[in-house]
Chain A
Amino acid sequence: NAGVTQTPKFQVLKTGQSMTLQCAQDMNHEYMSWYRQDPGMGLRLIHYSVGAGITDQGEVPNGYNVSRSTTEDFPLRLLSAAPSQTSVYFCASRGGWGEGNEQFFGPGTRLTVL
């Protein structure tokens, strides 16, 4: 199993550009989520999904969009990038409660918005 994979690893955008961060998992997990990690702020939840076709907002959803058309993939879209979205983005997945309950994290995407 590859676990949770994310692409790209690094990205530089200009203010106003849009892009999609890709996330995929091969563990047949129902639950997937996106976090951003900023110095001194810890990891904060952006959006999450409890299954294909079902998504919901987390703590800091503004400026981001998600969809979940398959169990495996959970892309994160930046609609119009802003310097405040400069951060490291992590995707995570988890099986049903009782299956170890751990969330597996991807390696991250480091995004810089100029």
Chain B
Amino acid sequence: EDQVTQSPEALRLQEGESSSLNCSYTVSGLRGLFWYRQDPGKGPEFLFTLYSAGEEKEKERLKATLTKKESFLHITAPKPEDSATYLCAVQAAASYGKLTFGQGTILTVHP
């Protein structure tokens, strides 16, 4: 059974204080690992897809990395507008589209 565990559950940062969110996963053949951002009362918004160990992707202050067992979402010099819940999900190789999600990390960035 595919599993995704995210840590920490909640993270409070001061503006400009860099940190990382962790996503540990077990899947029977990884087709893709996805990061989403979710704001309160809204649907998840796509950030990145990672396909293989060693891959990295960046977008503004966010950088996602992937190993064979986990992914990290690094946030550099965060701003209050980065406050959101960050979701990690995996898709198995045998799955056409089913995503298995973690519970998310609630990030709060204080000015």
Show the binding face of A for B, using Cβ within 8 Å: 4, 31, 33, 35, 40-45, 48, 50, 58, 90, 92, 94, 97, 100-108
Contact = CB atoms under 8 A, between A and B. Distances in A.
Contacts of B104: 42
B87 interface: yes
Contacts of A58: 98
A104 B87 CA distance: 14
A64 B98 CA distance: 17
Contact of A104 (B41, B46, B49): B46
Interface of B: 4, 31-32, 34, 36, 41-46, 49, 87, 89, 96-99, 101-104
B46 A42 contact: no
11 contacts: A31-B96, A43-B44, A43-B99, A45-B98, A50-B96, A50-B97, A58-B98, A90-B43, A103-B97, A105-B36, A105-B44
A96 to B, nearest CB: 10
Contact of A106 (B32, B43, B87, B101): B43
A102 B98 contact: no
Given A31-B97, A105-B45, 15 more contacts: A4-B43, A42-B87, A43-B89, A43-B101, A44-B101, A48-B96, A48-B98, A50-B96, A90-B43, A97-B31, A101-B34, A101-B49, A102-B49, A103-B34, A105-B44
Contacts of A106: 43
A94 B97 CA distance: 8
Contact of A103 (B41, B46, B103): B46
